Amino acid sequence: MFQAMTKPACCSSPAAICYWSIVSLIAWGVLSLIALYWHPLHASSAAVCLFAMAIGCLANWLRNRSFHCAITGPLFLIGGVVLLLSGVRRIHVDTRWVWPSVLIGTGIAFLLEWLYAERTNQDLTGSFGPKKKSSTNPPM
């Protein structure tokens, strides 16, 4: 159990993206059902979309350790909270800045993932599998 919690962050994979998509769609459905009782969370609201994406990122980080999800999850959550509070008129924010901020933050997260995350399936040369250590024997 402890070893699973210390698993290093890695790059996105098609399976991780599919997992994120499925969890996000399920979260969007659940949040849309909640909207039947609390109307600020209507299904087409931007806040619901960001909350669902944040839930998808949390699940993806816990399962796949996708590096960018550690950044985009909180970013989506903050964006969703800002849009929701602005929608119910609890705060006054120019919401036209929320989406560009989220998009720029997401782009930075993917750039950081590309630069720093551990590549487990494919190294930079395009060969698959873990990098092999040189097995040259030192001269005797």
Model pLDDT for residues 56-102, shown as the tens digit of each residue: 999 999 998 888 999 999 999 999 999 999 888 888 888 789 999 99
What pLDDT is attached to residue 130?
Answer: 41
Q: In whole angstroms, give the CA distance from residue 106 to residue 53.
A: 12
Q: Reply yes or no on whether the pLDDT at 4 is more than 70.
A: no
Query: How far, in whole angstroms, is CA 27 from its chain's centroid?
Result: 14
Q: What is the pLDDT of residue 3?
A: 47
In a domain, 98, yes or no: yes
Domain assignment of residue 15, yes or no: yes
Let me know if residue 129 belongs to a domain.
no
* Structural domain includes residue 109: yes
Give the span between the Cα atoms of 71 and 58, in whole angstroms: 10
Residue 87 lies in a domain: yes
Residue 135, CB-side half-sphere exposure with 13 Å CA sphere: 2
List the structure tokens of 112.
């950081």
- Domain hosting 50: range is 11-116
Answer yes or no: is 6 within a domain. Answer: no
Total domains in the fold of the chain: 1
Residue 122 lies in a domain: no
